[in-house]
Structure 1
């Protein structure tokens, strides 16, 4: 099934992937915690709350950079100077990938890491329902192209979906990748666009897009990632963060964003 089956769409929905289409609480986030623990010599392993607090700053969408930032902050808390730490970013990335993808990181056929066990949060029939309702869809994610394609094509079975990944655009909250995905979908300049994400940076993407292209209707839709739904206080805090960052509304799961709700929202 291809996005191209939608002509003259009534709306476009662009999805983030991590925390929206797949549950990364035991994969990306686990790899991040492993990496920080490794490069602080076992002295500090960030909790889920530590990572959420970092993400709430709205600029740490890249988990490699987030890992390095938490490492630096730990040593600063111990009286160190980050400029003298002599950290090698490529070593940090390599270690992260060895946990997330596995030791054979370049070949998806041989991946054995955390990515292999990620729960999928939206299956192929959901996207088929969007197409049937004349709603175009695609993906703009900070994940690497390899890991995103692994989930979208191998695990879900989507055929050549529009995907703008880490290698294709500046990191969020820069909206360039969102604009690129819209161009690939070929919708007109007044077609409403919904961007669906689980972080503050995702909500900021829509704010920044609206500043540059104010004539198009823009909507930021928040989704609560599974890991924050394990405790009412975490869920409430995350929802508040998304709403304060510009989320028009916040859902518990992406499939709650039904074709009916989308069309109702854009009318």
Structure 2
């Protein structure tokens, strides 16, 4: 990918945007919470969405821990009374999501449907739209989908290990710096995500760098499409700063990008 003469920069979140994680990451959250509450509580997809809508639980390990804490609090216990080893929780979660084979991942990650094609990204290149990824997923997990599934041998990726958790926009700034070869041209930036934290990230970026045009593009994750939660989920993204909300990432083409920019 060339890193100059871009008309626009698009940075994608990965989970819920590039791949469907409803039966992987979110399943691992539910499994983990159920395990660490001794089988007494398994959160539903709606309950996980409600937690995510608070805008600060982008890290799924921390989200799992929080749901465990809240369950025990609902039973009258104080947090400081709850014996919960975070490292054990992370290890259990990873065993479900990544799998137990350290040589070859064989967990829920292997079942994730892709939500975009390599041809879509190639069309962005043809339209002089620069693109990269900023995700709260671990680098290993993100590279699994980008390299192994999509076949992207080289791409710009800022992962969990590279920046603070969203909605802190540091990782977004890092991705943009790489796209621009550290020579800022104030090209308009779109950040594409499926959570409130993603949209808060773009509004935080706008506050820090108001001289650049920032647009948040919400994408509805597959597990809410066609359900009674779809409208509510969409409204939460808009209220958090989304300029528009799409039901599939590939609808964000050059024509729509130009339209969104022109409407500002």
Whether TM-score is above 0.5 comes out as yes
Please give the alpha-carbon distance, in whole angstroms, between the structure 2 residues aligned to 1:156 and 1:247.
27
Mapped partners of 1:262, 1:161: distance in 2:
21
Q: 1:257: which partner in 2?
A: 252
- 1: CA distance between counterparts of 2:110 and 2:240? 32
CA displacement 1:1-35 (0-9 Å, x = unmatched): xxx32521000000000000000000000000000
1:149 equivalent in alignment to 2:146: no
- Mapping for residues 150-165 of structure 1, pairs under 5 Å: 150-165=144-159
Q: Deviations over 1:38-94 (max 9, x none)?
A: 000000000001000000000000000000000000000001111111211000000
TM-score scaled by length of structure 1: 0.95
CA distance in 1, matches of 2:163, 2:154: 18
Report deviation, 1:160. Answer: 1.4
The one of 185, 203, 216 aligned to 2:199: 203
Residues in 1 aligned to 2:250 and 2:68: alpha-carbon distance in whole angstroms: 36
Distance, in Å, in 1 between the alignment partners of 2:91 and 2:107 is 13
The aligned counterpart of 1:238 is 233
1:192 is aligned to 2:188: yes
1:101 maps to what in 2? 98
Distance 2:124 2:257 in 1: 9
Distance 1:169 1:30 in 2: 25
- CA RMSD in angstroms, aligned pairs only: 1.0
Deviations for 1:165-222, whole angstroms, at most 9, x for unmatched residues?
A: 0000000000000000000101633200000000000000010001100000000000
How many aligned positions are there? Answer: 260
Matched, 1:73 2:67: no
| Cα distance between partner residues in 2 of 1:102 and 1:82 | 30
- 1:202-247 superposed Cα distances (whole Å, 9 cap, x missing partner): 000010001100000000000000001141x210010000000010
What SS does the corresponding residue of 2:225 show, helix, strand or coil?
helix
Residue 130 of structure 1 is matched in structure 2 by 124
- Gap regions ≥5 residues in structure 2: none
